[in-house]
Structure 1
Amino acid sequence: MTDLYLLLTAFTLGLFGGAHCVGMCGGIMAALSSGMAPGKGRLLPLLLSYNLGRILSYSLAGALMGSLGWALQQQGSLVVTGMRTLAGVMLIAMGLYLANWWRGLVMVERAGALLWKPLQPYASRLLPVQSAGPALLLGLLWGWLPCGLVYSTLIWAATQGSALDAAQLMLAFGSGTLPLMLGAGILSSRLGDVMRNRTTRGLAGMLVILFGLWTLPGGHQQWLMQLFQPLAAGT
């Protein structure tokens, strides 16, 4: 079972990365809403179905990456060290991205374009969405949209060396994106303002950077562990 503090970290990545998710999927949210004025009560089921499909895709990708991570870890301690190093670097990059100090993760999205290209026509055929089934299927497809934040989280999840643990982390990450992705109502609007606040993003970024530094192998973990002990004690 994945440690609670790891799940909370994954949830935080999704929550504070939600603004980026809205930018990537905002067009789909608008498409789901179009033509729904006569029966606005139908909109929430569509949004929930779409986001369920998207999060299921994240979890499936996590399971696949976790299986790959397990296979790689069987190759010896040197590979394990390399995976932890890569995960730490990616977490630091995510922290810089969340704080809006460096947006290099956007370059990672270009690598996923080859995967998304054959899926895009199928996703387009599902629009406009009028029922929960197509909305779920659209979410399942849209979950593979090139996204640096998702890819970086997947690399981190792969270091858990377990398909189940990695899937759980991606489920927590996807759940963190929900508040802003649902995007309707006063609460979501206010939450969006908070998430875009410079101070809030900076603090969130710093927390993720610290976790990334702790993930990196080396003797520095002892004093960094003292920073995380209060959180670990609380969980």
Structure 2
Amino acid sequence: MTEPLLFTTALLIGLLGSTHCIGMCGGIAASVGLSTRQNGQSAWLILLGYNLGRIASYTLAGALLGIAGALVATGITGVLLQTLAGLLLIAMGLYVGQWWFGITRLESLGGHLWRHLQPVAARILPVRSPTQAVLLGIVWGWLPCGLVYSTLLWSSASGSWQQSALLMAAFGLGTLPAMFTTGLLARQVQAVMQKRLTRQLAGGVIILFGLYTLPWGRILNLS
């Protein structure tokens, strides 16, 4: 893929995968929005800080995994990495469309790290300032999530840590509209995003991204 197409794909994966994000992070976004209204804070500023912190964590994770990906993204190993990335996106599309839920096993891999971070997030709540919101978002960005893990592996197959980080930032920006509005209009947004047809359409497009990611030509050349 060319770089503009890669970034557009990352944005769309984040946007379409928001049906999953609302289930995973919608509750905390809604509670942050509610606490700001109760404390007289500007809800949009607090929510923006929370989401920017979350995206910063995605970007850092993309850079770290991108370093490893750049070391192995050559030859047969690179083909295997790209193939796995495509298969994970397909699995994520099946999950978002509610056809198959095997991807949830992937989320258990991050459980050990989250057990250490969850108490940190609890100490930051309730959020009373933009600084607290950014810190909460940074911590919450490491919540075990199959969509994030799938996109991370996909981005790490790009060949450089810089591009991997930028792709994860684009993915995070793609999740921003749904997560931001969830904090302000929790019930209305969740009602739309959790509709069966919405999830199936989003899941179907993510599956297409996964199929497109598979290195068909390189696989044929190696055979």
Same fold (TM over 0.5): yes
Question: Deviation at 1:30?
Answer: 3.7
RMSD: 2.5
Question: Deviation at 1:193?
Answer: 4.6
Q: Which range moved further: 48-57 or 24-33?
A: 24-33
Whether 1:155 and 2:153 are equivalent positions in the alignment is yes
Whether 1:57 and 2:50 are equivalent positions in the alignment is no
Contact 2:30 2:184 in 1 (8 A): no
Whether 1:129 and 2:127 are equivalent positions in the alignment is yes
- Structure 2 distance, partners of 1:32, 1:208, is 29
Other structure's SS at 2:216 match: coil
Q: Which runs of 5+ in 2 are unaligned?
A: none
Q: Which range moved further: 2-11 or 63-72?
A: 2-11
Rate the CA distance shift 1:56–1:2 in 2: closer, same or farther, 3 A. Answer: farther
- Structure 2 distance, partners of 1:7, 1:92, is 18
- 1:225 corresponds to which residue? none
- 2:76 corresponds to which residue? 78
- 1:108 corresponds to which residue? 106
Q: Which amino acid aligns with 1:96?
A: L
Q: Which amino acid aligns with 2:138?
A: L
- In the TM superposition, what are the counterparts of 1:1-235 in structure 2 within 5 Å? 3-37=3-37, 40-73=40-73, 76-182=74-180, 183-184=182-183, 192-219=190-217
Question: Deviation at 1:221?
Answer: 9.4
CA radius of gyration, larger in: 1
Question: Deviation at 1:218?
Answer: 2.8
- Structure 1 distance, partners of 2:76, 2:36, is 55
Other structure's SS at 2:42 match: helix
Contact 1:62 1:170 in 2 (8 A): yes
TM-score normalized with structure 1 length:
0.83
Question: Deviation at 1:27?
Answer: 3.2
Equivalent residues, number: 219
Contact 2:61 2:152 in 1 (8 A): yes
Other structure's SS at 1:67 match: helix
Q: Which amino acid aligns with 2:116?
A: P
TM-score normalized with structure 2 length:
0.87
- Structure 1 distance, partners of 2:187, 2:148, is 23
Question: Deviation at 1:70?
Answer: 0.3
